[in-house]
Structure 1
Amino acid sequence: MSIENYVGRRVEVIYLNSKGRLNRRVVSVLTVTKKSVYVFDWGKQAYRTLSLQLVLAIMPDASAS
């Protein structure tokens, strides 16, 4: 499923951070552009911008059910 389908939803993402390390976060997807995704990170309680090419996986957040 494409990340655009998750706009407005709480999901779990796995991505490479700027140091090349894997990260797993629970976020709400706010907007998606050609190169990035703007999210609210529930763990950090902050808005973040992730590079789309570094997002490795996205799935519905199991704890949001």
Structure 2
Amino acid sequence: MLSFDRYIGYTVELIYMDGLERITQRMVVVQKVRGDVLDVYCLQRRQPRRLRLDRILSVRKVGDRRIS
């Protein structure tokens, strides 16, 4: 499984499949990795989200600036 620790503080683009198997594309700021869950701030919804790691299909770092 991919290590998400290296993305903490960065904006990333995720392809994610939710519990109803709908696939979405999200721009998020990674805040914390907790076991099998990723805490992020969703830039589109402007709200924190908790995403299951096993449902993340793809991840791509956007830019090189870390957000504190």
**TM norm. shorter chain > 0.5:** yes
Instruction: List alignment gaps of at least 5 residues for structure 2.
Output: none
The one-letter amino acid of 1:47's match is: P
Q: Which residue of 1 aligns with 2:36?
A: 35
Stretches of 4+ moved more than 6 A in 1?
none
- Among all aligned residue pairs of Structure 1 and Structure 2, give the percentage whose two residues are the same amino acid: 27
TM-score by length of 2: 0.84
User: Which structure dedicates a bigger proportion of its chain to helix?
Assistant: 1
Calculate the aligned-residue CA RMSD, in Å: 1.5
Q: Which residue of 2 aligns with 1:59?
A: 60
Structure 2: distance between partners of 1:14 and 1:3 = 14
TM-score by length of 1: 0.87
Instruction: List alignment gaps of at least 5 residues for structure 1.
Output: none
